[in-house]
Amino acid sequence: MHKLRVIFDTDPGLDDAIALLFLLGARDEIELLGVSCVAGNVGIEAVSRNARIICEWADRRDVEVYAGAARPLVRHLVTAEHVHGKTGMEGAPMHTPSMALQAAHAVDFIIDTLRREPAGTVTLCPVGPLTNIALALLKAPDIAPRIRQIVLMGGAYFAGGNVTPAAEFNFYVDPHAAQQVLHAGIPLVMLPLDVTHKACTSARRVAALASLPNHCGPLAASLLTSFERHDVKKFGQIGAPLHDPCAVAYLLDPALFQGREVNVEVETDSPLTQGHCSVDWWGTSGRASNALYITEVDADAMFARMAQAMINLP
Ligand code: RIB
Ligand code: CA
């Protein structure tokens, strides 16, 4: 079977950690070319450490992890320790990773990989603020046509915001980067809150991971339990929306999802609504579509797919 060749761009982050374990478990379907880290949920040092810890949980010290942007393109950095804890992975068994951080900057890794690999063979899967992707496109515009597809977690429209009433966190942290990426002319799939809020944890779904006969399954279950504590309080519902794993699930099985090709514009100026996605769902703007905007998921099948992948982990 032809493997998908993926660069995973991330700001771990508890749901990022689940997504990366999910991706590492799908070793037969995905060739991970590298992990590029971006400041978001917590600062760049912490996310770069966390990404290596996650790889070591999966006994994958072969994965190349790169540190990227320490702040957004224009705005000051806003982080989310209140959700993910000071370490960025509250509740997780932390250790000092033995695998080294790669010397190159993540943006240069993205550029060099896209220039080296055959055009149209590399998929970018960003699940944090889009700063690294935007910087790579600004520094090396020639890479845009070489990108097979961008499958990103970010944005919101029908679901409203999660960091302000108007904006989802990844797009709020770096709205300029999001607008830049959305206008790069690259085939792009968005997994916004409109779909991730339909893929929530539950006692049954967490138990399915906790009962896996390995180390990473129960570990993922404990991360989910830690992750959901914030959202249960905030949304007053049982279970937390599992954002970043939706992007990995889409990579593996797009048929689990449904959406519409629409025009998406990101507000970059208004202090009240920066990061807001103006999604032209009814085609009233006359603007060209620039994203496959996903709004539906078969959540049971997605969680089953995640457990099926994670059983391959140590
Ligand atoms: O809004 C959810 C997104 O913001 C997820 O990627 C989560 O990890 C945070 O980065
Ligand atoms: Ca994230």
Per-residue pLDDT of the chain (314 residues; tens, 9 = 90+): 689 999 999 999 999 999 999 999 999 999 999 999 999 999 999 999 999 999 999 999 999 999 999 999 999 999 988 888 899 998 888 999 999 999 999 999 999 999 999 999 999 999 999 999 999 999 999 999 999 999 999 999 999 999 999 999 999 999 999 999 999 999 999 999 999 999 999 999 999 999 999 999 999 999 998 887 766 666 666 688 999 999 999 999 999 999 999 999 999 999 999 999 999 999 999 999 999 999 999 999 999 999 999 999 99
Reading the block at residue 188, the tokens are 């792009």
How many whole angstroms from 281 Cα to the centroid of ligand 1?
A: 23
> Does 175 contact ligand 1 (Cβ within 6 A)?
no
Q: Ligand 1: does its nearest atom lie under 6 Å from the Cβ of 41? A: yes
* 243 included as an active-site residue: yes
Distance in Å, CA 75 to ligand 1 centroid: 17
* 286 CA → ligand 2 middle, Å: 32
Q: From the alpha carbon of 153, which atom of ligand 1 is closest?
A: 6
Check if 16 has its Cβ closer than 6 Å to any atom of ligand 1.
Answer: yes
pLDDT score of 232: 66
- Range 33-62 burial, b when 16+ CB lie within 10 A, else e: bbbbbbbbbbbbebbbbbbbbbbbbbebee
Closest ligand 1 atom to 196 CA: 2
**DSSP sequence for 11-80:** ---HHHHHHHHHHHH-TTTEEEEEEEE-SSSS-HHHHHHHHHHHHHHTT-TTS-EEE--SS-SSSPP---
Alpha helices, DSSP H, located in 86-202: 106-116, 131-139, 169-173, 175-182, 193-196
Q: At what angle do helices 216-235 and 203-210 cross, to 10 degrees?
A: 160
* Closest CA relative to residue 65, chosen from 25, 24, 17, 105: 105
161 Cβ below 6 A of ligand 1? no
Ligand minimally distant from the alpha carbon of residue 191 = 1
Q: Domain 4-310 is classified in which CATH homologous superfamily?
A: Ribonucleoside hydrolase-like (3.90.245.10)
| The predicted structure's pLDDT at residue 237 | 64
pLDDT at 233: 67
C-beta 89 within 6 A of ligand 1: no
Asked if 199 and 296 touch (Cβ cutoff 8 Å), the reply is: no
Residue with tokens 């140590």: 314
- Cβ of residue 169 lying under 6 Å from some atom of ligand 1: yes
Mutate to test the pocket of ligand 1, among 9, 14, 15, 193 (most ligand atoms within 8 A of CB): 15
Element (H, E) at 122: strand 122-126
Pocket test for ligand 1, best of 153, 200, 224, 231 (most atoms within 8 A of CB): 153
> What confidence score (pLDDT) does residue 36 get?
99
Angle subtended by helix axes 106-116 and 131-139, to nearest 10: 60
At 2 the pLDDT is 86
**Cα–Cα distance, 296 to 197 (Å, whole number):** 10
15 lines ligand 1 (CB under 6 A): yes
Q: Show Cβ contacts of residue 97 under 8 Å, excluding neighbours closer than 6 positions.
A: 49, 52, 53, 55, 56
* pTM value surpassing 0.95: yes
The catalytic position among 84, 176, 243, 276 is 243
